[in-house]
Amino acid sequence: MKRRVLTIVLAVVLAVLGTFAVLVYVNNADARAVAGQQAVTVLVAGKAIPQGTTAREAKASLHKETLPASSVSADAVADITAAQEDLVTTADLSPGELLLKSMLVTTAQATGGLTIAEGNLAVTITLCSAEMVAGNVHVGSEVAVFGTVVAGSNGDVSAQPNCTGQHKQQLGKGIGNTRVVVPKVRVIAIGPASSPVASDAKTTDSAFSQQSGPQNDLTLLTVAVKQDDAERLILLTQTGLPYLALLGPSAQVKPDDHAVPQFPPAPKKK
């Protein structure tokens, strides 16, 4: 008799527990369904927003929409805060696309860690140690960039870097001069060149001969400049030899507005 009563009691307890578990599951499911249907406000692009646009500038192209929570990423931006206004977009936003928190980063993050002033371009040139003031140029240094350009006897513009010795002029092969290319620029990054270029001592048409041996002293130097200075630097690296001068506190370097001595000297007129 006692065994039968115990069995009945156990069955009732199990039934109650099972019913309670079902009720809890149903309630949780209802809660999830209700949460999924709850309305949330998000920012949506009304027109195309280019990559690199600041959040402050993007505001004019964004509008708020109310959407079901189940259809919106948890990363969606509901409102642009004051702390986010200087952040920039990491990708283009198409009309109708939601703005996500992960799309907003600092300017330095968007440019690979470089801090580039507003309106400037980052340009990298390759230099030897001597051309970098024997390694005394560092990130943050202010330098003047000089350029040596040589016109060959056949009219070609040619000059080649050499990190293993001095640049030696081949007399009679060309005429060169040195000028100021950029009077003042700030260095924003420095790093070793990943692929040293072997020198070529057999070049005959170049205005500079090179000693044999690998160029194992090359350094990549990055500066932030305006477009016109970027064009000058790129042209110099393709046709001439860049050379840096470290600026002192009161140094004043002006663009050349006068004739620069040439070598070899231009032939005198008879």
pLDDT tens readout for residues 63-104: 999 888 877 888 889 999 999 998 988 888 889 999 998 889
pLDDT of amino acid 140: 86
Average the pLDDT over 177-185 and give the result. Answer: 88
The residue type at 266? A
Total structural domains in the chain? 2
Where does a domain end: 111, 129, 153?
111
Instruction: Fill in the DSSP letter of residue 175.
Output: E
Domain residues for the domain of 50 are 39-111
Statement to judge: residues 84 and 45 lie in one domain: yes
What's the predicted TM-score (pTM) here? 0.53
Residues 135 and 228 in one domain: yes
SS3 13: helix
* Closest listed residue to residue 236, CA positions, set 185, 168, 192: 185
Query: Do 99 and 121 belong to one domain?
Result: no
Whether 126 and 105 share a structural domain? no
Structure confidence at residue 162 (pLDDT): 63
Q: Are residues 235 and 254 in the same domain?
A: yes
pLDDT of 191 = 83
**Above 70 in pLDDT, residue 234?**
yes
Q: Please indicate, yes or no, whether residues 179 and 48 belong to a single structural domain of this protein.
A: no
- Residue 27: its pLDDT value, please? 61
Q: What is the mean pLDDT of residues 184-207?
A: 59
The 10 Å Cβ neighbour count of residue 240 is 24
- Backbone φ and ψ for 30, nearest 5 degrees, come out as -65, -40
CATH number at residue 65: 3.90.1210.10
Q: Are residues 128 and 148 in the same domain?
A: yes
Band of residue 205 on the pLDDT scale cut at 50, 70, 90: very low
Say yes or no: 103 and 124 in one domain.
no
In a domain, 200, yes or no: no
Do residues 156 and 99 both lie within one domain?
no
Is 48 in the same domain as 123? no
Same domain as 60, residue 157? no
Closest to 226 in 3D by CA, of 186, 168, 166: 186
